Each structure stands twice: as C-alpha cells, then as structure tokens.
Structure 1
Amino acid sequence: MPMPNMMTADSPARSRTPWWFRVGGQLLEPWVRIRREPAEPTSLLQAGTPVCYVIERDGFSDMQILERACREAGLPSPMQPLAGTRRRRSVFALAHRDGRLLGRNRHRSPNEPLGQLTRALEADPERDIQIVPVSIYVGRAPTRESGWFSVLFSENWVVVGRFRRLLALLLNGRDTVVQFSAPVSMRAVLNEGGDVRPERFARKIARVLRTHFRRIRAAVIGPDLSHKRTVVDAVLNAEPVRAAIAATAAKEKISQAKAWRRAQKIMLEIAADYSHPVVRSASLLLSNFWNKLYDGITMHHFDKARAAAPGHEVIYVPSHRSHADYLLMSYQLHMSGVVVPHIAAGVNLNLPVIGPILRRGGAFFLRRTFKGNALYSVIFNEYVAQLIDRGVPMEYFIEGGRSRTGRLLAPRAGMLVMTVRAFLRAPRRPVLFQPVYIGYEKLMEGKSYAGELSGKPKEKESLLGLLKGLKVLRQRYGHVALNFGEPIELNPLLDAISPDWRKSVDDPETKPEWINGVVDKLAEQIHININRAADVNPINLLALALLSTPKHAMAENDLLAQLELMKALLEELPYSDRITLTSLAPAAIIAYGEQMGWIRRIAHPLGDVLTADDEQAVLLSYFRNNVLHLVATAAWVSCCFLNNRRMTRNSILRLGKIIYPFIQGELFLPWDEDGFAAQLQATIDFFVRRGLLETTSDGRVLERGPGQDDAAFQLKTIARSLIQAFERYYIAIAALAKHGPHAISAAELEKACTLAAQRLSLLNELSAPEFFDKALFRGFIQKLRERRVVWTDDDGKLDYNSALEDMVRDARVILAREMRHSILKITGGDDKESPRAAAVPNDPVAPPAAPDISPTDIGAELHERHVESEQQEHAADATDKR
C-alpha cells in the first residue's frame, strides 16, 4: 500500500519548496554523506497516517539534511504541507534561532505547532498524526582519514552558531548520522490525556520530546558532564563526604580546612576529566595503532547490546586479559556510535603524560586497597554514586587485574558493591550489566605473564617501560574479537534475592544484610555470561589439540582429524547461542597457526609433523584456557576412559555430579548439577555417533576401542585438556591427608600445594604455568569448605573425616598410576594406608551438616566405580588397558 504524502525528487510536492532551499541543497549535497539509523526507516511508519517530523534544533542545514534523508529513504517530505492542518511544512523544531545572522541562540516555545496539531485532532476525532523524532549529528565520529582540525567541529552538547555549523558541515559532513525514532501517535497520547487543555497538553508533549532528544544525544555522544570541577564540587559537598572530612579533622586533630584540602586532593586524584575532542582525537590515533597491531577487530552481538541499553545505566564488565582491553572497548564503542564509558583504572596507570590522556578519555583512578583510609573510601564511593546518578556509563573489570593464565579470575566484588549501593541510594534509572568476552590470537604481555607465573616479580608500570614496550609494534597480533554476552539487569536479581529491597532506599547509609548475597550472585552470573559469549579462534583450537600430547606434536593427519572433531563438537553441542566459532577448515587452521608463528612443520617421509616449541607451548596454554570451559563436559567423559575400557553410563553421570561443583567453581560453568548431567548425556551420544564410544547392554555400558586405535587417541587428547585440574585436586587432598587433621590451615595448605605443583611441573616438564597457580588451589580449597568436605576447627586448622582419604585412594579411577605415585612421593602421602588411623571416632570436633552429596557418597561412589572397573578389565586384553 503506498504511503501517504510519499514523493520522489521530481514530484509536485517537492517543486513547492522555495527555489533558494533547492539551490542550498544542491550546494550542500557534495559535502554531506548521510547514514540513516535504521537504514530503512519506512518500516517504522504506520501506513495511511500523516507524518510530522520534529528535530532538536532549528537551522537551514538540519532542514536540508532531513529533507535529503527522507528523500533517499522514500519517506514523506518534511517540506510539504501537513495534511489536515494549516501548517505549510510537515516538520517543526524544539529550539529556534532568532532572525539575526550572527545573533545569539534563543529558544522559542514549540507549543505553537503542537497546539495547532492538537486543535486539528480535536476538530476531527477520526484523524491521527504520527510524530517522528529525528536526531541529526554532524561529525560524531571522525574517521582515520579525517583531519585533526575536523575533530574540533564534531558534534557535542554546545548549541553552536551558524558559522561554526558551516565549518562542521565542510569538515565533517561526510560523517552525518540521521537517526529516526519510532513514531508517536498523537491521537493515542491525546486520548490518554483525557480532558487536558490543549496548551497544557502541548507543553507535556514538548517536555517528553526534549527528554527523548537528551537521552538519544547522551547515548550517542555521552552525557553532558560540563567541567570536571562540577563533579568534584558535587562530591565534596555531599553529606557523607562532609561528615567524613569532619571525622578526619577530629580524629587527626587538624583543621577543617586542612582536612578539606586533603579530600580535594583525593578527589582530583580519582576523577575523570572527560573531553569529547580528546576522545575523538584518540580515535584517530588508535585507528593507525590497531592497523599496525592487529589484522582485524570484530564485534559480535553488539546489536543486541545496543537494543538493551536505552533507559538503563549501563555497566560494561569485560574479561581482563591485556592493557589493550579498555582501549579496544572504548574505541569500538565510539566507532559504533555509542558513548565511551568512564573506566575504572588502577592508579598505577596514572603515569606522566599517559595519565592525563587516559583521564580525558574517561578513566578514573582507584587505589589497590582502601584499607586504613576511611576518607578515601567515602570519597570514591560518592564519586561512583555521582556518576550513576548522572547516567554516565561505566566500565570496570571485576577480576581485579589481568588474567595471567587465560582463565577468568575469581571475581572481586568491590566495584559491584559500590554500584549496587549507589543504585539503592537513588534507584531512578535501572542498572544493566553488560558482560563482554575479549578474545585474542596473540598477547602483547604473553611472555611477561609466563615469567610472573614462574615466580618472576611483576614489573611496575612506568613511562620508560611503556616506551620500551613500543617494540610490540614490530609484530602482528592477529585478530581480536569482542563478543557481547547476555546482559544482566539488577532489578530482577534484587527482586529474586530480597523482594522488599526497596525499603532499604529509605536509609541509604545502612548496609542491608542481603547485599553480599546479591553481589556474589551478580559476580558469578557476570563470569558465567562472559564465558557463554566466548569466541573460538584458530589458535584456541590448535592449543586444545597440541597441548594434550606429551611433546606438543601431532602427525598432520591426526591434527586435522582432531580439529575437525573439536569443531563438530562445538557446532553440534553449542555451549550457548552467543558462542562464535572460526569458519576456517582444519587445513586452513594449521596454515594460519604456521603463519602466526605458533607452530612449525617438521617434514618427514612418513608424513609431516606439526609441533609447538617449548616456549610457544607455554604461551599457547593461555589460549587453551580461554575456551577450556567449552569442552569441560567432553573432557570429563573422556577422562573416565583414560584408564578404563568400559564404564556404565550411570557411573559417568553420578561421578560427574560429584565432581561438577569443583569444575564449575573453577571454570564458571552455567549449569546446575542436573543440567550438567543432561550435557554429559548429550556428549556421550555425540561420541557414540562419531564412533569414539560403543554401547552394549541396551546402551547402559559404554566401551572405547583399544588404546592404539584412532578413536581412543582422540578421546585421550580431549581428556588431557582437563586432566591437570584433577591432578591439582589430587595434590590438595593428598597434601591435606599427609598432614592429618588439625595440623594445617587453609593458607598453609595453599602454599604446600603450590610448592608441590611447582616441583611436579619441573619433574614432568609440564608446559602450563597455571598448574601451580595458587589462586586455583585457593578456589578448590574454598569449594571443599563450601561442600563441607573439610571444615575449620576452633584453632583455624582444617579438619575432615575418612571420606577425604577415600578420595585419595580411589582417584585411581581417573589418574594414571605414575602420576598418583609422583604426587604422593612429593607430598609425602601414602597410597595404601590412612595417616588418620583410628582418630576419627574420638574426634572432639564434629563435622558440620553434610550437603546433598556428602563426602561419604564421594568415597563410596569412587570405590564402587573402581570395583566395577576392575571386574570389567579382567575380561579385557591386558595390553588394551591404557
């Protein structure tokens, strides 16, 4: 059905436009290139209803741009009369200029055109008019080809004069954005208003439109923060900060003025000094920088993130793997038409020259610890609250620091607590957390990470170190992917944990008892959603395959088959709908790995071998760990067949449920225990379809092929991607059993495990530095305590019952004998007899209440599985028990 008022460039309606307007359009056309959002705005309009456009600011150039954008999109012309009214144009502006060429801007009320439209609707109850707000931005994001001078005339919050607007068009007109919003039915709004007088109704509509344009402008170019000084003054004048200043003066016996100056100094150390020109200038620099460094930067699911953001206070929470993370995020958001967020950065980055630039790009700085400085803590909390209250998008890394292992680090909840409390203080705008997975193919900091995990001290950031680091520009770092995960809204989370949370708004100074539960759940869900948006690149797949072999080498045919299997697994059993997978075929993946220098080819008459040298293997472990969570279920099923030819399906599922809480805590997996069991079932069925496992006894018993066949080799390769996690678990429980109950604290056990893992790594030439990462041991010990496998006595020492020792003995179901003996030799444990002996019945400390799956269940299940395995293996050929 044709749209009313639709017209072409040569239609009579267009010919009614003044000659000087048409001439101006012809003069302006070569200087302006328009990008419409959405690209096809006709889909927004309701057929058969007259259209009236409303723009934010009046001006000859804005009218020309609107008219051309409508013409190119096939929309009704704004220059034609509005049907059913006395208006000669189908457009009006919220703000008008006066008639003087160089005069100041003054705002005329838009009530007059709105009043005309309202009276026209009252005169004819059957008529309707759709109001279409149109936002016009000239030079919002200068491109790499733009000059430095053009940055000064790009779009901002200042209402500029005619001469400045002309310069902006000449310099930045080729980057003009025209954003059409969804139309508003005036008839529907008028009916909702009841008997409101036309004048009052017009004022109400104008107010709504101004709010709409402010929100759109804030989303596109950022909120109007005015000057840094206004934020500083607002924080220092806030009641909590004034009270903290008074308390500091009284406690340290100094004058109020001196305490205030100290607070001001702290505030100036923290606060960002956001500058639109600096952000646009930095985008020009970074365009060249990224082109020298990377082969491409891609974003996935950004359209979903953009659609969810309007009306929310957006908090970006990316994974943290490199110093490039925040630059990449800010650059990509800016180039995609979204305001750059304020970023929480460590004060160690507040370096000479670099610090002021980062500050003007939106960085605000925080110290590593707030302990012992109550004034600093109050000021920083108030600053975060001010940002949220002003609608400023923020970005911070809840891991606290960059991951040195490639895994997500255990979350640190400091910034989350501040965000939640700031929202509770003034819950005007709902908060939305946007997880982002950042995936690399090579890291600038890779070698330093490996050195730090091996015991070398972390190098302190300095300007000299930064200059030395410029040598990274000589290398290429492949592609980078920014995957936007499922957003998390704070309000539903609060409703689920504490339905009466709104009562806490009445007393913002009180910390609700339930807030820790909310923050813990929020932090866990952020990590889960980051992992659910992982990007699987060619280097991830090569690392998964090659690092699962003893010498990090594979025959080319075997590597091709393994890569094909891994891609099929990820495609047929998708971890989530936001996972992205390389489109390269296995042969192309190998060629790409050679090109990037990760692997090298060794020619041989019987077939080429692909290998990763020792140093490269250590660095590749980082990229394997990025995506280890995606193959966790496949790795567990495969681990069950490392030392067993046959297992029942039920045994795999039962053991999987028992081990799952520990794997889940380490890899931030998304399922509950039943969901994990369902994923295991699907994985088993996949292996059966692929011929890696066979079923007998009506599908109840599963069997792999003999140790030397290809299917067994592929299973072992998958299993070894996760086997080191179980070896670490075994180190922890063996070390605890060796010391006995009431003999060692959690911190002492963590240290003992780290030393044992380091020694085991040296003896077995393990290439994964995270094998002896103390943070992973700390997480496992904490999970043991949460599951009541171990507990702390009155003296702060760890206690346990005999079930833990059963776990030590029965780990032979999964771990090879040689590895178990090596671990027990290093830890001093005994593979046959428990050092606890008969102490358990007389233990004066009773264990806490057991969870749904008790430690006794673990031991009994493992023992049952071991007996079942031995019975089955007696019937198998001894040479196949590998």
Structure 2
Amino acid sequence: MPTSPAVDSTARRRAPWWFNLAGQLLQPWVRIRRDPAEPAALLQPGVAVCYVIERDGFSDALILQRACREAGLPSPMQALAGTRRRRSVFALTRRDGWILGRNRKRAASGSLRQLVYSLEGRPEHDIQIVPVSIYVGRAPSRDSGWFRVLFSENWVMVGRFGRMLALLLNGRDTVVHFSAPVSLRSVLDESGEISPERFTRKIARVLRTHFHRIRAAVIGPDLSHRRTVVDAVLNAEPVRAAIAASATKEKISHAKAWRKAQKLVLEIAADYSHPVVRSVSFLLRNFWNKLYDGIAMHHFDQARAAAPGFEVVYVPCHRSHTDYLLLSYQLHVSGVVVPHIAAGVNLNLPGIGPILRRGGAFFMRRSFSGNPLYSVVFKEYMAQLIDRGVPMEYFIEGGRSRTGRLLAPRGGLLSMTVRAFLRAPRRPVLFQPVYIGYEKLMEGKSYAGELSGKPKEKESLLGLIKGLKVLRQRYGHVALNFGEPIELTPLLDTLGADWRSTSTDPEAKPEWLGAVTDRLAEQIQVNINRAADVNPVNLLALALLATPKHAMSEHDLLTQLELSKALVEELPYSDRITLTPMNPAAIIAYGEQMGWIQRVQHPLGDVLTVGAEQAVLLSYFRNNVLHLMASAAWIACCFLNNRRMTRDAILRLGGIIYPFIQGELFLPWDDDGFNRQLQATIDFLVRRGLLETNNDGRTLERSTGQEDSAFQLKVIARSLIQAFERYYITIAALAKNGPHMMTGAELENACTLTAQRLSLLNELSAPEFFDKALFRGFIQKLRERKVVWNDDSGKLDYDSALDDLVRDARVILSREVRHSILKITPGSDKEPTASHAALTPKASAAPADLFPGDASAADMHDRHVDAEQHEHDRRGGSDRREPPPQA
C-alpha cells in the first residue's frame, strides 16, 4: 500500500498545474476531518484504487485530492493502473447549471463499464472501489451565523454557485468519509454469468444505496417532502378501509371522509426540515449556555456503535419539557440523526407547533377512544416511519414525572411499534433507554403545587412567554446517560416463538403481544434506572431529607455523603451508573452555591439546613436515585425498631417485600439476585462498622441510638421508610373496611386521603407520599401476587396472606406510626375482622426517640424478643402480645 512521500510527489506531478493552484487557493477556506482518521488501513496493498464520489463537482475533487494527500493515499488525479482511465475517480451523478441548475444525470455507467471491461480476460487483475462521501457544513460550528446555517449540507443537490457559497461559509466544517473498499473482481465472480451492462447497473444501484444510507446516517433521512408520507398513509389499505367504514357509519360521502382522514394525517405528521433543525440547533446552543453550566453525555459511544442496521427508538425518562430538546440537540451535534418525536397535541401551540413539527415532532392526542379513524391513521403513520427507517423518540411514561420517580409505563406506543415491525420485519428494532438527570428543574414549583392538589396549568403561548423568566436563573449541570439497548427480535423469540408466522394484518393482535409489550416496557424502565447519574444534589437530598428538621451538623453531613458515595462505588448497581467526582466538602459548597442548602454558623459547629420550600423540591432529586439505595435502606429499616436481628430473618422479610419495592422502583434483580445484593450490602455495612455480627455471622446487631453509626443507619433507612408506610396505609384501609366492601378505586381514594392527612399532621416534605399512582401500583402488585382480587360484584376480597403482611409490618414500623395510621384511616362501623384485630396495637406508644427502645437495656431486650417472637409466629407458634410501651 503506497504511503510514502514518493506517492504524494507522483500525485502532484500527474495533477494539472491549474488543479493544484485551485487546491492551494481553496485550502485556507477548508478544514477537513477524515472519517476514519486513518483510512489507509482500509486498503489492500498492491491493488489498484479507484475512488467513487456521490456527486460530480470540481470542489469535491479538490477536497478528495487533499484528503488523500494528507492521509497518504493514492491520488485520485493519477491514471488508474491497468485501465485507459486518466483519473482514479468518478462520480455517480453530475450537476448541470451554475446558479439554479440542480438537474442530475447518472454519470457512473460509462466509468463503471470501463472498469468492468478492464478485468475481462485478466483474472489476476483487480480494482478496489472506495466510496467517499463529502459533506460541507454538516452541522453549524460554534462561530456559525444564520447565513452559514442556510448553506449547510442537506439532501438538495445545489448548483455550482450554491456549492461555492457553502464552501466559503462552512468549508471549515468539512467531513470526508471513506468507506471500506469493494473488490470489483470478487463482486464480478460472485455475480456469475451476467452481461457487463447488467453487472454495471447492479454495481451502480449498490453504490447509490450505499451513499443514501451514509447520508441518512450523517444528516438524517430524506423526509423533506411531507406530502410523500401523507400520501403513503392515505393510500395504505388499513386507512382506506377505515375511511370507507367512517363514511358508512357517519353517512357522509367517501370524499368527505377522505378529507377528514387527510386532515387527521396533517394534524399528526412531522414536516422535517434540515435547515430548521440546523437553525434551531444554532439557537439552542445559546439557550443552553444561559440555562446550564454543562451538558454531559455518558455511554454514547456504545449507543452509537449498536445503532447501525437497526430502526432505533429512543425511550428516555420524562422529567421536563426540555428533555426532547436536550436529547435531539445532543444527538445532532454528535453527528447522529435527530429522531422524530411523539409529542402531545397540547404542545402544538401557535408559532411553536410549526417549529417543533419541522424539527421532527409529530403530534398525538391524549386519547384515541371514540375515534377509530384517528386511531388507524396514527398507527399507520407510525408504521410508515418505521418502514422508512426513521429513528423515533417517545416517552412511555405518558407524561412528565411530578415526583422524580419513573412512572408506571404505558404500552400504547410500544404496542404500535411492535405491530408495525411484525407487519414488515425488514429492519430490526432497537430500543435505546436514556436517563436524563438534572440538578434543578424549571417546572419544580409547579410540580410541587400539582402534587399538593393544585390543578395542572395548561400549556399556552402566554404561559410560555411568562416562563421566559427562567432564563434569569442557572440550573446547574445536566447528564444524559445512555442505558443498555434492548433488541426487539430476541424478546419476540422468547415470548412469541411463532411471531415470524404471524399474520401481516395490521389489526391482528396475537395472544402474546400483551406479554411482549409489558416485558419490554418494564425492561426499558429497568435499564433507564441502571444508567442513573448521581449528582451532588441527589446526595444532599438523600442525607438532609432523612432528618426531622432537614438539618445536620457539617461533620455529620460530611460523613453521610462519604457513606452514600461509598455505597454507590463499592456496591455497583450497574456498569452504567455515573457518580459525581466531587468530595463531600465540595458537594456541600456546591449545594450552597446552587441555593439548595443554607449554612447556619454556630460556636459548636456549623449546621447545614434546608428551607421548607426547598425540602419539597429536593424530594424530587432524592427520588431520582432512590432505587440505588433500596437494598441498604431495607436492611437499615430492619434496625429502626430492633437492636438485633438474624441474617436469615432480614433475607426472608426482604424476599417478601421485594416484589412491591421492585414494582415501584423498577429494580433489576430477580429474587435470588436481590438476596445476593442484600448479602453483599450486609457485608458492606459490617465492614463500615454500622452493624456487628454475632453467632458466626448469623446474628446482626447495631449500636445504641446515641452513637454515630446508629445515626448513619437511620439516615439510610429514612429514604425508604415512607414506601412501607404507604403499604401499611393500604393494608390498614383494607383490613378496617373488611372484604367485599371497597372497589379498587375506592381503596385508592381512601389511601390518598389518609396519606394527605398524615402528611399534614407530621409536616412531611414529600408530596409523592400521597401520590395516587403509587397506591394504584401497590394495589395492582397485590392483585398480581393474589393477595387481593375482585369478587363478582367488583369489590376487593383478600385472604390470610394479608395477615402475614400485617405481622411483618410490626418489625419495620414503630407502634406509634402504626397507631397513627390506624387512627386516621377511614373504616366501616362493622365488627372488626381478624386482620383488623391484628392491626390494632395493644397499647399506645410514647413518642419515639432516635431509635425507640434505646432508653434501657431491658426495653431493648424486649424488642429483641419481639423480633424473635415474630419469627416464631410465622412458623406456626402461638399468638403473642406486643411488648409494653416504652417507659
């Protein structure tokens, strides 16, 4: 392979003097980036090289000549060895005209025919064809102006004057992409006995497809003509059948029904525009600089490497209106195609909607019910995008999370995607989960208000103008973490083994489709959580919100932050978790700088505190990473009201509670995996001195409540204790009312009211404590575990498994908490059931100290006996009475 300076000098001698002069004149205006950086490694030594470029043009030849010279490649301007060609380059298409000329002529046939004829009768001779793609101004650079954006690379074949302007304005952002060479001899031998003309057409077709794919990967698919997509939707058989059915049902003419369908498609369809995408990208750069201190992407290289050959569907978590703008912008500036985004029709605002539509947004209504024509049209539009290989993005949570947790997924769009793939499985589908982590949210105050009962404020142009005041604030850093991608085909092979023989009927719904959609939705949420970013605000929220007054001494806070970081580092949740590199002191300083915490100076040591309003907002950021602390928090909860417990009891109770925690936090382990995680966490806590072991490690014991290690353990426990209190509220409401008395909706409402009242009485700063969706999820999990079910009248019934949950709750929740919940929970006046009797404490407890029962050794002994008695009861022992209240 020629890479020596001699090749370069030969290339210079064989290029005309005026060509070299033009190259020197162009050089100050063009800066070339090669992809790959060392294309010489792609070539086979000793084989003649012929370059093929997508479009004919003098400037493209100059750029190619320079790129080859800088990379040590053979010159495209030298004669091609073994042929009569005077140049080692040809173009697939040719431009005509100077200013307005954009006509294309296929110019490759003659050149390819010459190459094919040169191989006839010479089996030892070969030519390697190297496709080279040249893009001028693929994306605006940091110093780009509006005029430069208009002349960046796109799908339109501009004339010579347009190309000259593009070079002058954007030449310093020129990409030359070298593809792997194709052996003409090998392709000819594989083609068998076909005529040279037919073989030439075949090679030209393959090259055109190749260049089309490369251009689509670099600047996005050619969907500039919205009309073509709209026509394809309206001409699809399912839509035509729906139009006919609509005309019959509504007793209108077919033409009127068709116009109705056309109006629906136009309401839905994106109107993708490359110039608009580049222009908005130019604007967003300044917008992000005003808003954020930095935007980081992690694991993006793995995501980009996995994408080729797939229909990519980005499925990020949804926490802010800026989610889709951030992700699209970062993908664009990273050289990846901007996806088409499913947006709520509420965002189709005057002046804003058209811009979003041209940026790739397609709009969907919140509900399809009662409008079968809209449902068919939307599904067909989705199918057209997938069939054309257009990358997509949608949020399976259905809306923005108001609590900071992942919401229960909705399978509508996932089901449409799966069914579209089943209809035409030409390109495999890849779902790419994305975790988006903020340090401050623009919508934070409105979220807190909505959770407190205020109605959701509708999106409007006036509201958007009022919202511009957010530009006065700084919102810290943002992280976009790309999770492990999920391929659809292996999932179908597992749950729907006969999917390849499934009918292509778009309305077909195989029996296994629901299971595939549910598994896919759950795995997406799990993989989003497995790519979490732990930032300084998350760590501060975990620590400070676990104290009654949201305050800690600086020494205690430093210790707790160090412990939380160690938990994340030494007990890795997954290999895609990212953690702030700041040390505890820097985290506190950063929290003060961001305005999240305040310092109160004191002679005995400074105290860091959180205001009431800030505490509510911080609960959002604690919930972002709550799943990372689940195993440690469970173990710590076991020691809130018990001085010592056996390892087996902790593991057994953890196995019982795990399905409910897993459903709420989308944890990644199966039952055995969670057991192993608990074992590893226990070992960690023992190494750190937070727990001690006795009886050859079978018994675990914490220190007394006055010691630092006990305080640290309680702080960890408080991050999860509210989940168990919610569970107990649900059980209490069921037990107090009895079986066959409440529907699922009535139980949800009773639980929400109870939690709201408990929150008011105890000044809890976590609005999600009374989030109805969390109660709904727990009740659904009870149904899945066959603990509760609907009777013939639609009321809830339950069995003795509820009593087991009641008894297990005594180990975790203090008597005072249980008594408060029972007192507030609404119930019927009928005779108490066995479950209700099991709930009722035999005596009321005095207010608990840091750890209830630490007042005396005798009382602690009673609590130890209480835990052992609980284990005895579980194994069939006699009823027992609770220990007397704390003295």
Q: What is the SS of the residue equivalent to 2:330?
A: helix
1:709 aligns with 2:715: no
1:485–1:529 Cα contact (<8 Å) kept: yes
* Residue number in structure 1 paired with 2:510: 512
1:395 aligns with 2:401: no
Measure the CA separation in 2 of the matches of 1:357 and 1:143.
21
Measure the CA separation in 1 of the matches of 2:569 and 2:722.
26
Question: Map of 1:435-514 to 2, 5 A cutoff?
Answer: 435-514=433-512
The one-letter code of the counterpart of 1:781 is I
From 565, 569, 580, give the equivalent of 1:582: 580
Superimposed CA distance per residue, residues 375-413 of structure 1 (whole angstroms, 9 cap, x where no aligned partner): 111111111111112222111111000000001111111
Measure the CA separation in 1 of the matches of 2:100 and 2:520.
54
2:735–2:836 Cα contact (<8 Å) kept: no
Deviation (angstroms), 1:627: 0.8
Question: Map of 1:216-295 to 2, 5 A cutoff?
Answer: 216-295=214-293
With over 3 angstroms needed to count, the CA separation of the structure-2 counterparts of 1:31 and 1:189, relative to structure 1, is same
With over 3 angstroms needed to count, the CA separation of the structure-2 counterparts of 1:145 and 1:505, relative to structure 1, is farther
From 770, 773, 792, give the equivalent of 2:771: 773
With over 3 angstroms needed to count, the CA separation of the structure-2 counterparts of 1:397 and 1:837, relative to structure 1, is closer
Measure the CA separation in 2 of the matches of 1:700 and 1:240.
65
Measure the CA separation in 1 of the matches of 2:819 and 2:120.
90
Question: Map of 1:346-745 to 2, 5 A cutoff?
Answer: 346-745=344-743
Q: What is the SS of the residue equivalent to 2:431?
A: strand
Measure the CA separation in 2 of the matches of 1:662 and 1:542.
26
The one-letter code of the counterpart of 1:790 is V
Measure the CA separation in 1 of the matches of 2:8 and 2:42.
24
Measure the CA separation in 2 of the matches of 1:610 and 1:436.
33
* Residue number in structure 2 paired with 1:844: none
Q: Return 771-780 or 324-333, whichever deviates more.
A: 324-333
1:7–1:14 Cα contact (<8 Å) kept: no
The one-letter code of the counterpart of 1:305 is A
2:434–2:528 Cα contact (<8 Å) kept: yes
The one-letter code of the counterpart of 2:871 is R
Q: What is the SS of the residue equivalent to 2:595?
A: coil
The one-letter code of the counterpart of 1:575 is Y
Measure the CA separation in 1 of the matches of 2:676 and 2:6.
59
2:97–2:159 Cα contact (<8 Å) kept: no
With over 3 angstroms needed to count, the CA separation of the structure-2 counterparts of 1:189 and 1:473, relative to structure 1, is same
1:154–1:168 Cα contact (<8 Å) kept: yes
From 93, 96, 110, give the equivalent of 1:95: 93
* Residue number in structure 2 paired with 1:338: 336
TM-score, reference length from structure 2: 0.92
With over 3 angstroms needed to count, the CA separation of the structure-2 counterparts of 1:286 and 1:640, relative to structure 1, is same
Measure the CA separation in 1 of the matches of 2:258 and 2:742.
48
With over 3 angstroms needed to count, the CA separation of the structure-2 counterparts of 1:561 and 1:122, relative to structure 1, is farther
Superimposed CA distance per residue, residues 783-827 of structure 1 (whole angstroms, 9 cap, x where no aligned partner): 000001111111111111223133224312111222111111111
Measure the CA separation in 2 of the matches of 1:868 and 1:270.
58
Q: What is the SS of the residue equivalent to 2:572?
A: coil
With over 3 angstroms needed to count, the CA separation of the structure-2 counterparts of 1:694 and 1:11, relative to structure 1, is farther
Deviation (angstroms), 1:298: 1.3
* Residue number in structure 2 paired with 1:821: 819
Deviation (angstroms), 1:107: 2.6
* Residue number in structure 2 paired with 1:810: 808
1:805–1:834 Cα contact (<8 Å) kept: no
Measure the CA separation in 2 of the matches of 1:683 and 1:72.
56
Q: Return 613-622 or 800-809, whichever deviates more.
A: 800-809
With over 3 angstroms needed to count, the CA separation of the structure-2 counterparts of 1:8 and 1:781, relative to structure 1, is farther
Q: Return 288-297 or 424-433, whichever deviates more.
A: 424-433
Q: What is the SS of the residue equivalent to 1:397?
A: coil
Deviation (angstroms), 1:866: 7.5
Q: Return 762-771 or 633-642, whichever deviates more.
A: 633-642
From 75, 78, 93, give the equivalent of 1:77: 75
Measure the CA separation in 2 of the matches of 1:763 and 1:195.
87
Superimposed CA distance per residue, residues 202-255 of structure 1 (whole angstroms, 9 cap, x where no aligned partner): 433322221111111112212112422222222222222222122122112222
Superimposed CA distance per residue, residues 236-289 of structure 1 (whole angstroms, 9 cap, x where no aligned partner): 222222221221221122222222222222222111111111111111111111
Measure the CA separation in 1 of the matches of 2:14 and 2:665.
67
Q: Using the aligned pairs only, state the percent identity.
A: 79
Q: Return 81-90 or 369-378, whichever deviates more.
A: 81-90
Q: What is the SS of the residue equivalent to 1:731?
A: helix
Superimposed CA distance per residue, residues 122-171 of structure 1 (whole angstroms, 9 cap, x where no aligned partner): 65545554433221111111134222122221111111111110011111
Q: What is the SS of the residue equivalent to 1:96?
A: strand
Deviation (angstroms), 1:538: 0.8
Deviation (angstroms), 1:104: 5.5
Measure the CA separation in 2 of the matches of 1:862 and 1:778.
33
Deviation (angstroms), 1:731: 0.7
Q: Return 22-31 or 87-96, whichever deviates more.
A: 87-96
The one-letter code of the counterpart of 1:596 is M
2:803–2:835 Cα contact (<8 Å) kept: no
The one-letter code of the counterpart of 1:36 is R
| Structure 1: runs of 5 or more not aligned | 841-859, 872-877
With over 3 angstroms needed to count, the CA separation of the structure-2 counterparts of 1:196 and 1:834, relative to structure 1, is farther
Q: Return 441-450 or 228-237, whichever deviates more.
A: 228-237
The one-letter code of the counterpart of 2:51 is Y
Q: What is the alpha-carbon root mean square deviation over aligned residues?
A: 2.6
Q: Return 719-728 or 819-828, whichever deviates more.
A: 819-828
Deviation (angstroms), 1:189: 3.4
Deviation (angstroms), 1:195: 4.3
The one-letter code of the counterpart of 1:545 is A
* Residue number in structure 1 paired with 2:15: 17
Deviation (angstroms), 1:72: 2.8
Measure the CA separation in 1 of the matches of 2:117 and 2:407.
62
Q: What is the SS of the residue equivalent to 2:105?
A: coil
| Structure 2: runs of 5 or more not aligned | 839-865, 878-883
Measure the CA separation in 1 of the matches of 2:867 and 2:777.
24
Measure the CA separation in 2 of the matches of 1:451 and 1:120.
77
Superimposed CA distance per residue, residues 541-600 of structure 1 (whole angstroms, 9 cap, x where no aligned partner): 111111111111111111111111111111122111111111111111111111000111
* Residue number in structure 1 paired with 2:848: none
1:813–1:865 Cα contact (<8 Å) kept: no
With over 3 angstroms needed to count, the CA separation of the structure-2 counterparts of 1:152 and 1:246, relative to structure 1, is same
Q: What is the SS of the residue equivalent to 1:11?
A: helix
Measure the CA separation in 2 of the matches of 1:18 and 1:866.
96
The one-letter code of the counterpart of 2:478 is V
With over 3 angstroms needed to count, the CA separation of the structure-2 counterparts of 1:772 and 1:209, relative to structure 1, is same
With over 3 angstroms needed to count, the CA separation of the structure-2 counterparts of 1:585 and 1:76, relative to structure 1, is farther
Measure the CA separation in 1 of the matches of 2:768 and 2:672.
29
* Residue number in structure 2 paired with 1:785: 783
With over 3 angstroms needed to count, the CA separation of the structure-2 counterparts of 1:868 and 1:798, relative to structure 1, is closer
2:435–2:528 Cα contact (<8 Å) kept: yes
* Residue number in structure 2 paired with 1:854: none
The one-letter code of the counterpart of 1:323 is H
